[in-house]
Structure 1
């Protein structure tokens, strides 16, 4: 048996309709896991589950709905008998200068990414405690490196990193291990959606290598799956991210010095954000908008 085999394990993945979540479900299933997909987009969830096989199940739920997640957790345990791994992956993003951000959109990013991760933990930790399982919180390069025009996303990902690190000693007493997963720009709908904004795309292109590169999805997810198999404390989807950890205390100083120069060079282009407020990026953002509208109606 491979040291990274997931045979006989049950893995729950939020944000599993597309991108990292969908690909991770496929990889873990290929390694023997029974996977439970949680997300907003019924058709996409069903298609991913069908592509995996009969042991894959899907549940429609918004991570901002705590009671819905608790119901989903109960139903997954009822179907599979246990839960061994939970990956808190659901996330959305927006980009704009803070003063030109739509406060409702900005706050929604915090609600989904940070509060949604806490809701995921509240819902699934009883099952993970019973199985002495593993909780992986997906963070980001944005947790290691602050960035202008990305205040909501950076704040949310720094928050989920801190949440996971704070949970780790508490849950160790219950036999549950906690990890944090870090990804740089990876080829997903979210990143492609962000690149549709000319200003955001050009801002990212001006970053130094390797921060300005978009990385392929498949190898990034294979590394995440390896980390899950090891129940690692830190999981790096791109190997070079590991080297960011020892010097992360320097990045705010560097960004603080270089950021104003980059922004000044953009000149009047920054005014576009005030003239045309930005919403959530990508198809995942559109799905969250649709879900919120349906709840209001």
Structure 2
């Protein structure tokens, strides 16, 4: 009965985390570039009450008796499938069709990787995202004060010369204007052998971890390993409201079952305590 109390409580704790993840998915259903998360569960250790035996005195085989001790959260995983592309009409809004991440310079100095492509020009002429983080590329044209390197290459800011002409961005990341300039910057994307290793940093951005493995850096459509850009579009969240609502109902029911199991175990212990009365 004590074991059942702990097993049930572990199930309730796990479902609470599951519900937290589902709630966060639903809260970000309209967040540009957001990727939904899911929870993976794993059973806790098993206690062997009886070892298996090939034969006994009466010639019968005995199977093992093992009892589990509950459940735990094994991992929270990110679903990287693309969200739908929504047209905005703003040439500086960019959506990635396929693999890859934009690179931005986070306030703490790290490189952020994001699928949210709502960019604009700041007062200094740099391409920045909605949080004011500057877009990075090894083919940029404005060197930062402190060097930023990725995959052995120096990253730079992108600062188009926008004097009296319109900036347009092609599917391969090249920047075009009405004025002929030979050294226009180009937007690059980054991808990873194992994107599951990326750590969430907020604002739909992620930071690198060694678990990600090798970094793939290049212009869109390069080597078939990176997606293409769509100018004038944004990638919507990949959260499916109906799917998340179903998961929420299942998590709620599992939580209720755990609570009922604890109540039943408590009643059984109460009966045992009252046997002498």
Give the TM bin, normalised by the shorter chain: under 0.3
Greater percentage in strand: 2
Report 1 or 2 for greater relative contact order, CA contacts < 8 Å, sequence distance ≥ 6: 2
TM-score normalised by the chain length of structure 2: 0.22
TM-score normalised by the chain length of structure 1: 0.21
Structure showing greater radius of gyration is 2
Greater percentage in helix: 1
